[in-house]
Amino acid sequence: MNGQHDPMKGIFEISGASRYDDLIAERYHFPRIYLRAAEACIGDWIVYRETGSGGGRMAYIGVGRVREIDADPADSRLFYARIDDFLEFDRPVPYRDPDGRFLERMLRELDSPAIAGRALRGRSVRALDDTDFAIIVDRGLTDTLSAEAAVRLELDSRYLDESTAALLAEPPGERRIAQLLVNRKVRDAAFRGHVLDAYDSRCAVTGLRMVNGGGKAEAQAAHIWSVAEGGPDVVQNGLALSATAHWLFDRHLISLDNNYRLLVSHNKVPFELIRLFPAPGERVHLPTDPRLHPRQDYIARHRARFAGLD
């Protein structure tokens, strides 16, 4: 369903315990009442706004781009917005700024902030001003874009190409945000920060945690399902791995089983390295929060390639 239109940015609301089949890095599930508003966003960016329902965080939590919309084959009353380029914010962005002003213009223009909840009924999918979008995303990526994090996230001069360095030097604004969201260096930096935070900068395979005086971890952020093949930049598609383990993982010489135990291609991995791996039957090191553990379908993709090489 790709109607002809000038795309607009939008808000897609989610809750802490949705009854819809949402998987926000890939799809947003919604009823027909929001179809026209969602179709207007095809080809443009949306911000996910998490409500307080079901223990939600009451904040803007990430950004993605609407690729297309299709009908739910199981229910003619429902539709899916397919999402590309999802990026979770470094931290949830509150609905209001420190002065109490709403970040969305339609809420700022209400006669009273007290009626915001009533004004949003039936508007779970709605338009978002370009300026408001830029402000929300800029705040969402504060940690990634901070000068203090440059070394840790490999956004310092040793790693930057000329165009990315120029982009980061630009003042905040709509143009800068639009380019940041598709810049691979910036997306890799955000992904690295989120994965290393989840794993406490510890290699999932060796269990070693080494951080230099500048805050740079020895561990790297590895994608389980590669970006080149369509994998998203989400923690559940990542592992913190030392450089050597990362090299082995990317070449499918090591992988994980369904219980997060390490699989090793013994005839291709030197014994000296195997001695650093978890003992047979032990799980690799994982985030404390189980919601951040690698997704089983991502692991299955990787394991299939591992099995094909073994």
DSSP codes joined into one string, 196-244: HHHTTT--TTT----B-TTS-BS-EEEESS-GGGT--BSGGGEEEE-HH
CATH number at residue 17: 2.30.130
Whether residue 49 contacts residue 102, with contact meaning beta carbons closer than 8 Å, is answered with: no
Per-residue model confidence (pLDDT) at position 161: 93
Closest CA to 13 of 49, 63, 57: 49
Average pLDDT over residues 116-125: 94
Tell me what the mean pLDDT of segment 42-64 comes to. Answer: 95
Mean pLDDT of the chain: 93
Residue 236 has pLDDT above 60, yes or no: yes
Give the pLDDT confidence score for residue 278 in this predicted structure.
86
Split at pLDDT 50, 70, 90, the class of 1 is: low
Range of the domain at 202: 195-309
Tell me whether residue 241 is in a domain: yes
Tokens linked to 135: 């402000």
Asked whether residue 293 is domain-assigned, the answer is yes
User: Residue 88 and residue 79: Cα distance in Å, rounded?
Assistant: 23
Check whether 203 has a pLDDT greater than 70: yes
Which pLDDT value is given to residue 243?
A: 93
Same-domain check for residues 304 and 200: yes
Confidence tier at 45 by pLDDT (50, 70, 90): very high
Domain boundary, last residue among 128, 160, 182: 128
Does residue 233 form part of some domain?
Answer: yes
Does residue 167 belong to any structural domain of this protein?
no
Backbone angles phi, psi at 136, to 5 degrees: -65, -45
Among the ranges given (117-126, 149-158, 210-219), the one the predictor scored with the smallest mean pLDDT:
210-219
For residues 38 and 118, state if they share a domain. yes
Most confident of 82-86, 115-119, 214-218: 82-86
Q: Tell me, what's the pLDDT at 4?
A: 54
Query: How much is the pLDDT for 146?
Result: 94
Residue 19 is predicted with a pLDDT of: 84
Is position 5 within any domain? Answer: no
The dihedral through the CA atoms of 265, 269, 272, 274 has a sign that is negative
DSSP string across 241-291: E-HHHHHHHHTTSEEE-TTSBEEE-TTTS-HHHHTTSPPTTPBPP--SSGG
Do the domain assignments include residue 160?
Answer: no
Predicted confidence at residue 40, as pLDDT, reads 97
Same domain, 20 and 119: yes
Asked if residue 231 is part of any domain, the answer here is: yes
Q: Which two tokens stand for residue 99?
A: 């002065």
Instruction: Report which residue type is found at 132.
Output: D
146 inside domain: no
| 126-142 mean pLDDT | 97
| Same domain (yes/no): 110, 205 | no
Number of domains in the chain: 2
pLDDT at 310 over 90: no
Q: Does residue 194 carry a pLDDT above 60?
A: yes
Q: Are residues 214 and 107 in the same domain?
A: no
Average pLDDT over every residue of 223-245: 96
What is the reported pLDDT for 5? 60
- Pairwise CA distance, residues 30 & 110, whole Å: 26
pLDDT at 262: 94
* Closest among 84, 79, 73 to 43, alpha carbons compared: 84
